[in-house]
Amino acid sequence: MEEIKIHLTEKEIPEQWYNIQADLPRPLPPMMSPVTKKPATPPELTPLFPEALIMQEVSKERWIDIPEELRDLIRQNRPTPLYRARSLEKLLDTPAKIYYKYEGVNASGSHKLNTALAQAWYNKQEDVKRLATETGAGQWGSALSMACAILNMKCTVYMVKVSYQQKPYRKSLMQLFGAEVFASPTNRTNAGRSILAENPDSLGSLGIAISEAVEDAATHDDTKYTLGSVLNHVLMHQTLIGLEAKKQLEKAGDYPDIVIGCVGGGSNFGGIANPFLMDKLQGLRKNLRVIAVEPAACPSLTKGVYAYDYGDSTGLGPIAKMYTLGHTFMPAGIHAGGLRYHGMSPIVSMLYNEKIIEAVSYLQNPVFEAAVMFARSESIVPAPESAHAIRAAIDEALKAKAAGEKKVILFNLSGHGHFDMAAYDNYLSGNLVDFAYPTEKVHEALSHLPKI
C-alpha cells in the first residue's frame, strides 16, 4: 500500500540552500538605489540589511551552506510532511497523482518561518537588537515574531490595516511572541503620516507597510529591516521546501510533471519550485511545467509590466526590475492578504518573462470553492493564499482526467487557515465578492514608475 504521508528524518534536512541565480539564463538586472537611480552598492544597503544577507542577495554560488547553529534551530520545525492527496484524487476521479508539501505545521502556521529564523539569526550575529518589518495577512509577522522570541530580539511589525481588522488573532499571536504590532498606515512614520493626510480612511497596502518598516529601520541605529518575500536571499532560504520535497518524492518513486505555488511576492513559490526548476534549467527535465497562481484582484504577473519599480509605496527602498502593477497600486480588501502586493520577486519575474514558468489568476469564489473541497476531502483548512495553488492543482487534475493522462502534480500548501474563518464565513454565507483589478487602473498606476 502506498503511503499517504511521506516523512524525512532530521538528518535529511538540507545542509545547503539552493541559489537559482547560478542557473538563470542571464544575470538578474541590478537593484537600483532610490537616491541615485544607479546600481545599489552594499554601503547603501547596510542601513537596512546585515552584510551576510547582502552577500547572499548578490551571490551567484549554486549552493550556500546553512550554518550548523542555524540548522539546529531549523530542526525544531523541519522537515515538514509531504502528503499524497488520495481523498482529493478520489473525489475528482482523476488518474493524476496529487502531492502537497504542508508548511503549516509550525506555531506561526506557514512557510515564512524558514527565512524568518535565517534572517533573525544573521542579524543577531551582527549584534542587531531589533527587527522592523511589514506583514499583510499576518503569516510573515507571526513568523518573524516567533523567530525574534527564539533569538531574544525585539520585533516591530507594521500590519496592513485591512488585515489587522480582518484577522485580530494574528495580531494577538505576534504579541504573544513579544512583538509590538501597529495597523499601517500609522502616525509613527513620515510615510504613514503622508498616506493618512491624503486618505485618512486608508485600509493600507503591503507597499505602505514596507515604507513604514524601512523608514523605522533606517532611522534607528540598533534596528534592521526584514522582508518576508521578493528578495533573492528570501527565496533561497525557502528552498528547504523544494529540496525536502524532492527527497520525499524520490522515496515515493515519483517526479512531478507540474509544480504549482501561489504568488504574492514569490517566497513560497520559489521555495517549492526553484529546486525543480534547477533540473529544467540544466536540461534534465525540459518538459516540467511550473505554474504561479495569483489573485485576479492583484494580478502582478498576468496584468503587470516587467519594469523597474519601487518595492514600497513611497519610494524609500531599493528599485527592482520586476513584474509590477505600479507602487501606487491600492489592492481591494480580498481575504488572501498575503498576495496583495504590487510587485513580484525579480527571480520569479525573470523566469516568467523568459517563459520558463507559467502564470494564471483566479477570482476569490473559485479559490474558496477549491479550499472547501480540499478541507472536506483532506481534513486540512488551507490559508486563502494557499487555496490559489489548490485551485490550480484541481484544474490541472481535471485536465489530466479529460485527457486520460497520469500526471504527477505537486503543490505547496504554504499555510493553514485557522485565522481565516471570517473569510470562510463570508464564502459559506454567499457574501464573498469577486473583484478583478481593472486594466485602466493598472495603466494609471504604471504611469508613476520611476525613470531608470
H/E stretch holding 102 reads strand 97-102
Phi and psi of 416, rounded to 5°? -90, 165
With a CB cutoff of 8 Å and minimum separation 6, the contacts of 347 are: 20, 21, 24, 28, 232, 235, 266, 270, 274
* Residue entry with cell 549554486: 62
> With 60 as the cut, is the pLDDT of residue 401 above it?
yes
Longest dimension (CA), the chain: 63
Q: Is residue 154 part of a domain?
A: no
Residue 122 to residue 101: CA distance in whole angstroms? 27
Residue 41's pLDDT is what? 87
pLDDT category of residue 1 using cuts at 50, 70 and 90: low
> With 90 as the cut, is the pLDDT of residue 314 above it?
no
Higher pLDDT, 332 or 144: 144
Cis previous bond, 299, omega within 30: no
pLDDT category of residue 328 using cuts at 50, 70 and 90: confident
Q: Is residue 420 part of a domain?
A: yes
Cell triple for 190? 513620515
Give the distance from CA 177 to its chain's centroid: 21
pTM assigned to the model: 0.95
Q: Is residue 305 part of a domain?
A: yes
Q: Residue 338 gets which letter from DSSP?
A: G
Q: Is residue 364 part of a domain?
A: yes
Cell triple for 338? 498575503
Characterize 333-360 residue by residue with b for buried, 16 or more Cβ atoms within 10 angstroms of its Cβ, and e for exposed: bbbbbbbbbbbbbbbbbbbbeeebbbbb
Residue 205's pLDDT is what? 84
Cβ atoms of 222 and 249 within 8 Å: the answer is no
Residue 312's pLDDT is what? 82
Cell triple for 80? 515538514
Q: Is residue 19 part of a domain?
A: no
Grouping H, G, I as helix, E, B as strand and the rest as coil, residue 91 is: helix
* Residue entry with cell 481591494: 332
- The residue range of the domain holding 83 is 68-109+233-446
Higher pLDDT, 258 or 446: 258
Pairing of strands 63-65, 180-184: unpaired
Q: What is the 3-state secondary structure (H, E, C) of 253-271?
A: CCCCCEEEEECCCCHHHHH
For residue 294, give the CATH number of its domain. Answer: 3.40.50.1100
How many domains in the chain? 1
**How do residues 217-273 score in pLDDT, each as one tens digit?**
999 999 999 999 999 999 999 999 999 999 999 999 999 999 999 999 999 999 999
Percentage of residues in the chain with pLDDT exceeding 90? 82
Percentage of residues in the chain with pLDDT exceeding 70? 98
Residue 441's pLDDT is what? 81
Residue 390 to residue 382: CA distance in whole angstroms? 9
Q: What is the 3-state secondary structure (H, E, C) of 168-205?
A: HHHHHHHHHCCCEEEEECCCCCHHHHHHHHHCCCCCCC
Q: How many CA atoms lie within 13 A of 89 on its CB side?
A: 17
Residue 335's pLDDT is what? 63
Residue 356's pLDDT is what? 98
H/E stretch holding 291 reads strand 289-295
H/E stretch holding 425 reads helix 421-428
Residue 312 to residue 211: CA distance in whole angstroms? 5
pLDDT category of residue 334 using cuts at 50, 70 and 90: low
User: End-to-end alpha-carbon separation of the chain, Å?
Assistant: 58
* Residue entry with cell 552598492: 41
Q: Is residue 179 part of a domain?
A: no
Q: Is residue 55 part of a domain?
A: no
Residue 288 to residue 32: CA distance in whole angstroms? 33
Q: Is residue 331 part of a domain?
A: yes
